[in-house]
Structure 1
């Protein structure tokens, strides 16, 4: 009978497409991963993986075994903890990905309390603003803002992140404080333009259409175009133009007075925020605990 450890190693190798990356994510030597999969193949009497110098791919038998084995391991984990949810400490590695600004401003300041509650848990936190590949990069859970982008993933909606309009006091002193959309034109306001790709079409100034659930955009001029959330907020702080940003990222600047909220009745559309996993059966106690905690952390910023 194949061991559960060898099955876990096989699943990680299959999903990451690499013995080296799988071994690194599991904290074991590459040789151990290779040996475990080879012994698993010998025990089953079939070849599970096609191996080349550059890649590892599932065979037909490997795909069938992978699908069943993943569900079996999830059931085993549930059986182990079904009577000890509150008594058994969380152990092992948890690999997650977070948007950079949320990680910096909101999650990391709150993380010591989570670590204190689960001291035996090993957290690997990636912070990037690109859409990572959960399966190939070995993530247990990711926090995603905006569209999920892959219908095969399992998403749990947390709500929507509140957005605000803001500018620096120095900028408002030069241009005046807008009270209406028309003021944005009459006072010749400028905005900091943001897009994920430099040179792309600016998004424009977003505002709600009164009396409906729809939003529209107003084209405003701007001399600065950035492709980073951090740079976008820094440009607003420097007085280079108006910005529309998530409350979680600039709350401290609003509280300190470094930024001032404007047009509070015309805030842009809140951004959808979701916790995403690759498979529904991957919701281990570690993942469930982290998902519940991060939802609590983000609740004050959700519309």
Structure 2
């Protein structure tokens, strides 16, 4: 396959037209059109639907763009790095991270990484939704218990679990009465199955507060309004100093944080450096390590 033609195709696909691509890439419009036509002929595929005023990727064109754009970028970066003799990662690194990790640890992680790799321009976006890494231009996505995705590979770097906690002054759970609960959203189950030092217990919950942030839930529980399910890493310090009581562990509530990236052979130096930095921050990936990293 002609890599120059493939690069020209991706330039046109990225900018949505031959004219815009020609201006952005400093390439003649006629040359781009010819290269794309040659690529379509070589592949025996139509990559663009050409209207009178619009240019739109076909399904095959979109698939080719998604699978080759990042790879070509990495090839260019690898060649430039080798040519310059540079060893340090450099360039833009875009990461999507979940809300709770961003609120508690990502600021410190980002600062440490920036100090170690000053030539990398790190950008972190906070969101819990599923993102399209290729379409939205992310290099790395951090997610909690992600669904399997054949287009992505990843590394598990942190583990956590949910526990039920409440203020020391709050009445302990009993099987014969519902417990006022602080929940995240309204989709939480009405019962919590927990394991205690005395065995298994099912707690009936009467939600009295529904909050959109886990940090808000923790703060409300600290104020003594009800019991809540929270990650042990977020409340281990409160449990240790008696601010909160640990009622038990939620059954089957193992939490794993994954760092995900597109499945391809070449992994950019920036992504590799960030993955190594996460490993150094959490060498064993335990809840205690995360709690210590977060601090009070």
Which digits, 9 at most, give the CA deviation of each residue in 1:221-245, with x for residues without a partner? 2222334323322332332211121
Q: Is the 8 A contact 1:140 1:282 kept in 2?
A: no
What is the aligned-residue RMSD (CA, Å)?
4.2
Aligned mate of 1:245, from 223, 227, 230: 230
Consecutive unaligned residues in structure 1, runs of 5 or more = 21-28
Task: Identify if the C-alpha distance between structure 1 residues 217 and 10 changes in structure 2 by more than 3 Å, giving closer, same or farther.
Answer: farther
Task: Identify if the C-alpha distance between structure 1 residues 78 and 203 changes in structure 2 by more than 3 Å, giving closer, same or farther.
Answer: farther
Distance (Å, rounded) in 1 between the aligned partners of 2:55 and 2:165: 49
Partner of 1:23: none
Distance (Å, rounded) in 1 between the aligned partners of 2:135 and 2:68: 19
Q: Is the 8 A contact 1:153 1:277 kept in 2?
A: yes
* Pair 1:285 & 2:269 matched: yes
Partner of 1:138: 137
Q: Is the 8 A contact 2:7 2:72 kept in 1?
A: no
Partner of 2:287: 301
Distance (Å, rounded) in 1 between the aligned partners of 2:55 and 2:240: 51
Distance (Å, rounded) in 1 between the aligned partners of 2:275 and 2:10: 22
* Pair 1:194 & 2:184 matched: yes
Task: Identify if the C-alpha distance between structure 1 residues 110 and 167 changes in structure 2 by more than 3 Å, giving closer, same or farther.
Answer: same
Q: Give the C-alpha shift of residue 128 in structure 1.
A: 1.1
Which digits, 9 at most, give the CA deviation of each residue in 1:53-89, with x for residues without a partner? 898424646745764565455456556657999x522
Task: Note the 1:36-47 alignment, pairs <5 A.
Answer: 39-46=31-38
Distance (Å, rounded) in 2 between the aligned partners of 1:221 and 1:131: 30
Larger relative strand fraction: 2
Distance (Å, rounded) in 2 between the aligned partners of 1:9 and 1:218: 58
Point out the structure with max Rg over C-alpha.
2
Q: Is the 8 A contact 1:153 1:278 kept in 2?
A: yes
Distance (Å, rounded) in 1 between the aligned partners of 2:202 and 2:54: 48
Consecutive unaligned residues in structure 2, runs of 5 or more = 41-46, 290-296
Between 1:76-85 and 1:275-284, the stretch displaced more is 76-85
Distance (Å, rounded) in 2 between the aligned partners of 1:56 and 1:227: 39
Partner of 2:90: 91
Distance (Å, rounded) in 1 between the aligned partners of 2:174 and 2:10: 58
Distance (Å, rounded) in 1 between the aligned partners of 2:95 and 2:169: 43
* Pair 1:153 & 2:152 matched: yes
Between 1:225-234 and 1:92-101, the stretch displaced more is 225-234
Task: Identify if the C-alpha distance between structure 1 residues 93 and 35 changes in structure 2 by more than 3 Å, giving closer, same or farther.
Answer: same
Aligned mate of 2:169, from 158, 168, 173: 173
Q: Is the 8 A contact 1:159 1:302 kept in 2?
A: no
Task: Note the 1:200-211 alignment, pairs <5 A.
Answer: 200=187, 202=189, 204-208=191-195
Partner of 1:271: 255
SS state at 1:185 partner? coil
TM norm structure 2: 0.71
TM norm structure 1: 0.69
Task: Identify if the C-alpha distance between structure 1 residues 185 and 286 changes in structure 2 by more than 3 Å, giving closer, same or farther.
Answer: same
SS state at 2:265 partner? helix
Partner of 1:116: 115
* Pair 1:101 & 2:100 matched: yes
Q: Is the 8 A contact 1:162 1:271 kept in 2?
A: yes
SS state at 1:136 partner? helix
Distance (Å, rounded) in 1 between the aligned partners of 2:32 and 2:201: 58
Aligned length: 273
Q: Give the C-alpha shift of residue 4 in structure 1.
A: 9.0
